[in-house]
Structure 1
Amino acid sequence: MLSSSHVCFMSICLWSLLHHVLMEGGPGVGEEDFSFDGLPGAQHEFKVEVPGNQEECFVQKVAQNAELHASFEVLRGGSRMVDFYIKDVHNRVIDKLLYKSEGSFKYTVPATGHYQICVNNVHSRFVSKLVHFYIVTMVEEEWTKYVQEIDEINNTVENFTVVITEVQNSIKQVRLHQSATRMNVMKDWYMVTGNNSYVMYWSLFQIACVLMTSSFQVYFVRKLFNIPNVTPTAKPRA
């Protein structure tokens, strides 16, 4: 049996191993591994409260030659005017909209990296603003390939649907044929049973008639040849 100290030591070791795996992202996982966030595409839609005279930035990893679409709209708060801009991997502003309540960007990314989408509530010192964001990244070639694959899948599904419909119609026809066959079998069975009963009763009636006729014939024939015996005392007188 394991002692309590051994059990405690094993629990601590397992907890340390689990913590290390969670913090490091698992064995063999590094910074250059594939990220599902932005490669080859991503879509995010959210709302954020930006305090007065504060800046909020959101980092999005984008693949090379991908298109980055970013749009915003201030839903409430003061004059609803903010500054909106995008920064590249070198923290340089590549596009901006100043003193706007809504707007959108479209930018083709030259190199894979982390890009920042920022909103600055510099025009209001004390009033916060609720801003709605919509961010989309996609690689045109990958998107075209995806659409083609979807079309192929749709065609396959349509063909499969046609085949399934034909099979279903064939099954319906088979069931109708089976139902008609069962009805014919039942009808023939009742007809055969009725004919059998009719023939049996008619045969019994004919047998009875033959027996009765034979009995009557035997009786009358015997009656015809039945001659009484004449004794000397019973002789007729002349």
Structure 2
Amino acid sequence: MSVMVGKPNSTDFEIIGPNNQVLDKKQMTNDITLQHGVLVSGTYSFCIINTNYMFEPKLISIYLWAYQKDSWSQYAMAINEPLDKLANMSAHMQKTDTNIGVIYTHLERMKRETFKDWLLIISNNRYVQNWSLIQCVVIIVSTVTQVVFVRRLFGGNESKLKGRPQA
């Protein structure tokens, strides 16, 4: 879980169990990783609390990966019973489980980096558009000002000489 936009230290994160009891509570940093074992089956809630800065925009990326380790060990036991050659199957499965976790973490990090790059591109585009608009306004104002001064410079003498012969 990570804060993509907004202040990272202004948010709390809670895991609430099926009996409405708070199982884990953490203060947010830029990136936070929680591992929590489930003792009772049921519906678990995740609560993101942003009371101090509730009118400030915030974007939080959450990645949830749930699996049952009991199923992995039961599967390993079922394979290891008939086959003596696969004595280290459990270690390989745990290593595979760890590698899958590393892959998911890497994918989440790449997704966050891509999103941060996209936000930077949007910000730079807005900056360039604003400065281009300001430069266009300055050019138009300076052009109009030059035209007015040049007309005054060359146009003022014609009205005085009307009706009089020029020498």
Higher Rg? 1
Instruction: From the two aligned structures, give the one with the greater helix fraction.
Output: 2
Instruction: From the two aligned structures, give the one with the greater strand fraction.
Output: 1
Which band: TM-score by shorter chain?
0.3 to 0.5
TM-score after normalising by structure 1: 0.32
